[in-house]
Amino acid sequence: MGDNYPARVLCAGAGDPSCPLSEGRNRMSDSLKTGLTFGSTSAAITTLGLMVGLHSGTHSRLVVLGGILTIAIADAFSDALGIHVSEEAENVHSARQVWAATAMTFIAKFLFALTFALPVLILPLSTAIMVSLAWGMAILTVLSLVLARAQGEPPWKIVGEHLLIAMVVIGITHFVGDWIGSLGG
């Protein structure tokens, strides 16, 4: 049983998700899940933080909309590159899996971030911020419930942890926005 021992004997079967040598559907599915969950979570937290901070500092619809579009483009590329480098650094993924996670991260971040623009375009700004907060928390709640189920963890624990982190980010950016707004200029 040297280095040439067939990999198929080491795993329970070609579809075995626990097989570290598997390059099949399960690994690709994991790469897509990584991109989707990271991209959508990042979109919700980053976009909400930016929106709340810009709103409290400027009260400008145009500035908030510009911030959303900036997040959707620049931060989507940045997050996709971050996932790309992270997946490569693990040195366990095929190039195809790395690119699948990269592409899905960009698509999820870009599209989810853009959804926050709609309320800003059609509602009074203060109302749009409240609607966006509800939408972002709904995204995080659904993702957290799915994760809790997949991990066999109590949903309240995962949901609570993720919403708490989001609220801390939103609270800090609100106060920083207020502080920047008080500087005048």
Q: Would you list the domain boundaries of the chain?
A: 23-182
Are the C-beta atoms of 101 and 87 separated by less than 8 Å?
A: yes
DSSP code, position 23? -
Average pLDDT score, the chain: 87
Q: Residue 26: what pLDDT? A: 67
> According to the model, what pLDDT value does residue 11 have?
40
Q: Which region, left, alpha or beta, applies to residue 67 given φ > 0 means left and ψ of -120 to 50 means alpha?
A: alpha
At 81 the pLDDT is: 96
pLDDT of residue 139: 96
Check residue 29 and give its pLDDT: 86
pTM given for the model: 0.81
Please, are residues 76 and 109 in contact by the beta-carbon 8 Å criterion?
yes
pLDDT of residue 172: 97
Nearest-angstrom CA–CA distance, 44 and 132: 9
Q: What integer pLDDT is reported at residue 77 of this predicted model? A: 96
Can you give the pLDDT at residue 5?
A: 38
Which segments of the chain have a pLDDT < 70?
A: 1-26, 185
Please report the pLDDT score of residue 185 as a whole number: 62
Q: Which residues, other chains included, contact 172 with Cβ-Cβ below 8 Å and sequence gap of 6+?
A: 49
Q: What pLDDT shows up at residue 7?
A: 37
Nearest to 49 by CA among 171, 161, 181: 171
